[in-house]
Amino acid sequence: MDTVRRIEWVLAEALGEMDDASAPRSLAAAIKHAVFPGGARIRPRLCLAVAMSCGDDCPPLSNAVAAALELMHCASLVHDDLPCFDNAETRRGQPSVHKAFGERLAVLAGDALIVLAYQTLAAQIHHRPERAQALFRGLSQAVGMPAGIVAGQAWESESVVDLRQYQRAKTGALFAAASALGAASAGQPLQAWEPLGIWLGEAYQVADDIRDVAADAAELGKPVGQDLCHGRPSAVTTLGLSAALERFEQLMSQALASIPDCRGAKALKGLLRAESQRLIPSHIHKVAVAEPARQSPRHEPIVSSN
């Protein structure tokens, strides 16, 4: 089974209890709506790629970890879309959960998805109980306080914000966990794999910013130019397109260089290079070459939308 099918399968399995006759119907439907159809499933793909590089000695466990990461990501999207935050009308090409099911069920769907993430992991932990602490702690740190994605979202309510800390928590934490927990699910020490997720998380953000100005809408699946339109900070508005592309290449190089020695290192590097091409296709590089050079600070914090 290829990785994409493997992820959809484990997510469908994780949501199996939504069909339980004793479950409240509307909440079950809201939860399914939040998970299917999915986005790029980047976090579980990264998790499984790292697990496979580390030998993937317990696929039921790595599957569960990959699903848990995606369920946490879906939970954060549902709550970020709520009227009190972004009040988003659409998500992944369909109405957001609160638009389709109301605010109450959106709050509850987010809560239930967080619990389901742990539940999915708990269901497989008997295969390797000695890995329980690393996996449950790692997942919690990526989501909760003081530096997970919930903390990241909370920085938006603070009057003084360290932008890098905000960005690391809001997006980087779950990317770092995807990489680190992929390794931990295969019994490898997780610390060595965190940098890969951190570099990749930042690279994806910069790529998002670049695609927002240089891709066409059909390619992106959503309107382009949204960062400028909403006055959101972006690597492109801060650095200019050429320097942002350079920054992206630099982050991908750092990601590649951070991969620890392991038997699957070569295959993983190949995967990341292909992903890099997918994120920034060559025609975008051509756009940048045509753009006039721009002087801009290179080492300012880079913040982008997710």
Whose Cβ is closer to a copy of itself: residue 36's or residue 136's? 136
13 lies in the site for a copy of itself, by CB under 8 A: no
Q: How many residues of this chain bind a copy of itself (CB under 8 A)?
A: 59
Q: With helix as H, strand as E and coil as C, how does 16-50 read?
A: HHHHCCCCCHHHHHHHHHHHCCCCCCHHHHHHHHH
26 lies in the site for a copy of itself, by CB under 8 A: yes
Whether 181 and 69 have beta carbons less than 8 Å apart is answered as: yes
Whose Cβ is closer to a copy of itself: residue 30's or residue 49's? 30
Q: Which stretch binds a copy of itself (CB under 8 A): 5-13, 89-97, 106-114, 184-192?
A: 106-114
34 lies in the site for a copy of itself, by CB under 8 A: no
Give the CA angle between residues 126, 132, 136 to the nearest 5°.
Answer: 125
What does the chain come to in residues? 306
Interface residues for a copy of itself in 135-194 (CB under 8 A)? Answer: 136-137, 139-141, 143-148, 150-151, 153-158, 165
85 lies in the site for a copy of itself, by CB under 8 A: yes
* Euclidean distance between the first and the last CA atom of the chain, given in angstroms as a whole number: 30
29 lies in the site for a copy of itself, by CB under 8 A: no
Binding site for a copy of itself (CB under 8 A): 17-18, 20, 22-28, 31, 75, 79, 82, 84-85, 102-105, 107-108, 110-112, 114-116, 118-119, 121-123, 125-126, 129-130, 132-133, 136-137, 139-141, 143-148, 150-151, 153-158, 165
